[in-house]
Copies of this chain bind each other. A is one copy, B any other.
Amino acid sequence: MADEIPDIVIGRLPIYLRALYNMVEEEDKVTTSSHELGERLGISSAQIRKDLSHFGEFGKQGTGYHVDFLISQLEQILNLEQVWRVALVGAGFLGHALAHYHRFQRHSFHIGWMFDSDPDKVGQVMNGVVVQPDEEMEATIAEAGVRIAILAVPAAAAQSVTDRLVAAGVKAILNYAPISLSVPPDVQVQYSDPVVQLQRMTYYLRPE
């Protein structure tokens, strides 16, 4: 079944999950509806129902969804019932911010390994994690069975670091370096580049 579900649907599930967490944590909500979720997310309720219907029947006509139940189902679908080991490569300003980002711990991700090639960074402790030298990266990752990495290195280093991560067994990379990565078909990459995101918006702004 999994193979048939469009990736764009998978991409919306974490956004539904995030809204559901907010409902529980900020508002103590017990039930919700596709209509309410859609209003908050700017997505049509029909789209939400269609997305969820790929995975089963989670709500009842008229009464909607139990928030806790829907959360647990989405967590199961997205493989979030375990804690994933994550390596963070790059201990500059961005790496430092990511190391301290509290939402990883709360949402099934444990950043337990950090690496940097700068001798001044090596040995620093960031949120309890000691920055290890770049040379130890492959062996440490392979031994720890880490399959997710976050890349916060300069563009010039990103592809070679990626090749080494992939060789060590990494299957998913969140890439903050401003470059498109080349990876084998069984390795996933997600990109985050604030310049690209801003430039996409300036297209629609009136120049000055």
Report which A residues bind B (CB closer than 8 A): 10-11, 13-15, 17-19, 22, 26, 40-42, 77-82, 84, 86, 92-94, 96-98, 100-101, 103-104, 107-109, 145, 147-148, 150, 155-156, 171-172, 174, 178-180, 182, 188, 190, 192-205, 207-208
Contacts and interface: CB of A to CB of B under 8 A. Distances in A.
Given A201-B172, A203-B78, A180 B10 contact: no
Copies in the complex: 2
B155 A78 contact: no
Nearest to A75: B199
A63 B5 CA distance: 41
Nearest to A174: B197
Given A193-B18, A200-B190, A205 B171 contact: yes
Given A200-B10, A203-B77, A104 B15 contact: no
A148 B198 contact: yes
A147 to B, nearest CB: 6
Contacts of A205: 79, 84, 147-148, 171-172
A201 B188 contact: yes
B42 A195 contact: no
Contact of A94 (B97, B145, B200): B97
A198 B42 contact: no
